[in-house]
Structure 1
């Protein structure tokens, strides 16, 4: 008797639905002819949680952000050091009056380098954190331009080695003229000559271009101690390992033989060439590391832009 009772109950339900009409049928269900209610084939589309969430990669986003924060801080530090040295050395007003010679100032080079690094890293930070396509495109474009410029300069420098050598010597001679005028430049020249154990560009006679060390062949050479001499950094044993440095060891060194004054006779251009040849592997490693950092930044920024554009296309399609 139990199975017949269940059948009667099911028939009674069909009869009740038919009597009440379609308006009383629960939403989301339909009734097949001469049969029980069936689920409707038309369902309200329900958006899944996965579709409602952003698909911009958090790993790429915050990796690029952290990568640029480090360089942003580094650029700010370099910029601060350059500005401090630029202003403190002779005063801001005098530096601005001598703009014509500013390209020989090492502090100005630090200012330019720090400013470029600071701005590029700032674009990367804001672009990644705010998912700004414009900033990310500008960041990757600048990095790509810098990367191509570095590779081009490296190839041209190798192809035109003699031209680079000649212009390096001209640059050293020009800086020799400004030796006493710029304390920072003086420290750089002394450091190079002491560490490379060299003197001048091609030879110690390049110091004849400096008004304090030149030889005029007049009575002045006897009155001025530095005349016909070289800086103390040209003397042998004046490197960083020396306990006591004789700052007057090069006075009058070019009046007679350089060997009698214990002064380096080789120029710094040839010494630089030898140093690069001897340390080619470490230099190549540093250059490769710098290039890989730039390639890494370009790759992450372009990948993040692709994620942003893909997610934006999905939003436009849904709404």
Structure 2
């Protein structure tokens, strides 16, 4: 293999090491998002809240597996393995680009769905306060809009943290409403998903091109060795 082929080989290997790291980060990031969301009373609310984090975790697993395949193909100089990797990488690039576009276009709708979820949790607190407590603990918030939503009620200790034995109005007034806290959480994370996804997609496209070049170089070397 000439110098250009060796260069492509090791650049592709380094790219795939980065992909392995990106895959692990996506898995960890999606898991953290899932850990901030409790179980809701109803399949529809639960699905709406968990859909994006689950997609991120699955995407992270796919990136990790394909990157590992690319590392093996590059180091062993196997054209079949490398071409298989390049096909998977191109499909992954298209899927990730579609996901980014979906998140970009449906952002407002998704945030509106989150507001509906918070409203339903608030309405259900009379029969099941545990879900509202979980929401307030997870997002460090109090009430649906503000602590004043508990005007004629005792402010639950979940408004003041997991170790609180009680919660006064003075402490509760420092916390944002859960609708605002939930919305800010998703806005922040959707932006991270969008821009991180664009960066990863660009690297995936470069890796696809390099994999095709390496596979072609390996095939040419095999043909030359047969003469």
TM-score (norm 2): 0.59
- Which structure has the greater CA radius of gyration? 1
Asked which structure has the greater RCO (Cα within 8 Å, sep 6+), the reply is 2
Cα deviation, residue 299, structure 1: 1.9
Q: Cα RMSD over matched residues?
A: 5.2
Cα deviation, residue 144, structure 1: 1.9
- 1:64 lines up with 2:45 in the alignment: no
Cα deviation, residue 135, structure 1: 2.0
Cα deviation, residue 231, structure 1: 3.1
Q: Give the total of aligned pairs.
A: 204
- 1:247 lines up with 2:164 in the alignment: yes
Secondary structure at the aligned position of 1:247 is classed as coil
- 1:125 lines up with 2:71 in the alignment: yes
Aligned to 2:217: 307
- 1:264 lines up with 2:176 in the alignment: yes
Aligned to 1:298: 208
Aligned to 2:159: 231
Is the alpha carbon distance of 1:292 and 1:166 closer, same or farther for their aligned partners in structure 2, counting shifts above 3 Å? same
Q: Which has the higher helix share?
A: 2
The counterpart of 1:144, out of the listed 77, 82, 90, is 90
Q: Check whether the contact 2:137–2:158 (CA below 8 A) recurs between aligned residues.
A: no
Is the alpha carbon distance of 1:297 and 1:169 closer, same or farther for their aligned partners in structure 2, counting shifts above 3 Å? farther
The counterpart of 2:145, out of the listed 183, 192, 203, is 203
Unaligned runs of at least 5 residues, structure 2: 32-45
Aligned to 1:28: none
Separation of aligned partners in 1, 2:185 and 2:60: 26
Unaligned runs of at least 5 residues, structure 1: 1-53, 84-100, 209-213, 234-244
Separation of aligned partners in 2, 1:312 and 1:231: 68
Separation of aligned partners in 2, 1:274 and 1:76: 22
Separation of aligned partners in 2, 1:248 and 1:63: 57
- Following superposition of structure 1 onto structure 2, how do residues 2-17 of structure 1 map, counting pairs within 5 Å? none
Is the alpha carbon distance of 1:159 and 1:199 closer, same or farther for their aligned partners in structure 2, counting shifts above 3 Å? farther
Q: Check whether the contact 2:160–2:172 (CA below 8 A) recurs between aligned residues.
A: no
Is the alpha carbon distance of 1:150 and 1:115 closer, same or farther for their aligned partners in structure 2, counting shifts above 3 Å? closer
- Following superposition of structure 1 onto structure 2, how do residues 132-211 of structure 1 map, counting pairs within 5 Å? 132-169=78-115, 190=137, 193-194=139-140, 203=145
Secondary structure at the aligned position of 2:77 is classed as coil
